[in-house]
Amino acid sequence: MTSAEANKAIVQKWLSSGVSSPEGLAMVTDDFRWVAPKSMAEMFPNGEPELVGPEGLRDIPILDKALYRGYEVSGNNSNVHFMIAEGDIVVMEFDAKFTSFEGEAYHNNYCLVFFLRDGKVAKVHEHVDSQYSCELMMGTPEKKAGVLDRLARLRRGETV
């Protein structure tokens, strides 16, 4: 078993390299799973709030680009509050700030629980105030239609 500190370093490297980058994809297990809140299921490709396998991670930038105007992860839009580890489990709490497609400020707190196996990320559980996210991003029929349209277009390889 890898030490807790080594597992924190693996998670930090995975996040900093970009989870859907070639380097990031090489750092997850073949049976990788990202589990999100159930209330966000309709935004996921198969209608389940889960991304499966390394190839599932390719949908994360698509989801983010469909929700946030000018989406780009940078050092000034998120703040890590803490990262702790015990054995093969790493927990990170952070907040993130973006702007919705309608120009509304978005600021939410997240907690990600990472499960590692054999030096790779095997599973992530995402905990977030999904009611706030869904109300801000999809709280009206027009907003919801816009998000779902952008998701469909981005998944077809179009730009938005």
Q: Provide, for the chain, the percentages of residues in helix, strand and coil under a 3-state DSSP scheme, each rounded to the nearest 5.
A: 40, 35, 25
- What is the structure's pLDDT at 99? 87
Cβ distance 41 to 49 under 8 Å? yes
Question: Which residue stretches of the chain have pLDDT < 70?
Answer: 1-2, 70-76
Listed in sequence order, the DSSP H helices in the chain are 4-17, 22-25, 53-56, 60-67, 130-138, 141-155
Task: Note the maximum CA span of the chain.
Answer: 50
- d(CA 122, CA 14) in angstroms, rounded, equals 12
3-state secondary structure at position 58: helix
Q: Give which of 155, 81, 140 is closest to 112, Cα–Cα.
A: 81
Cβ neighbours around 3 below 10 Å, total:
11
- What is the structure's pLDDT at 135? 92
**Domain map (residue ranges) of the chain:** 4-155
Within 13 Å, how many C-alpha atoms sit on residue 90's CB side? Answer: 26
- What is the structure's pLDDT at 124? 97
- What is the structure's pLDDT at 73? 54
Tens-digit pLDDT profile for residues 48-90: 999 999 999 988 888 888 887 765 555 568 899 999 999 999 9
The pTM (predicted TM-score) of the whole model is 0.88
The domain 4-155 is placed in CATH, from the list 3.10.450.50, 3.40.50.1010, 3.30.460.80, 3.40.50.1820, at 3.10.450.50
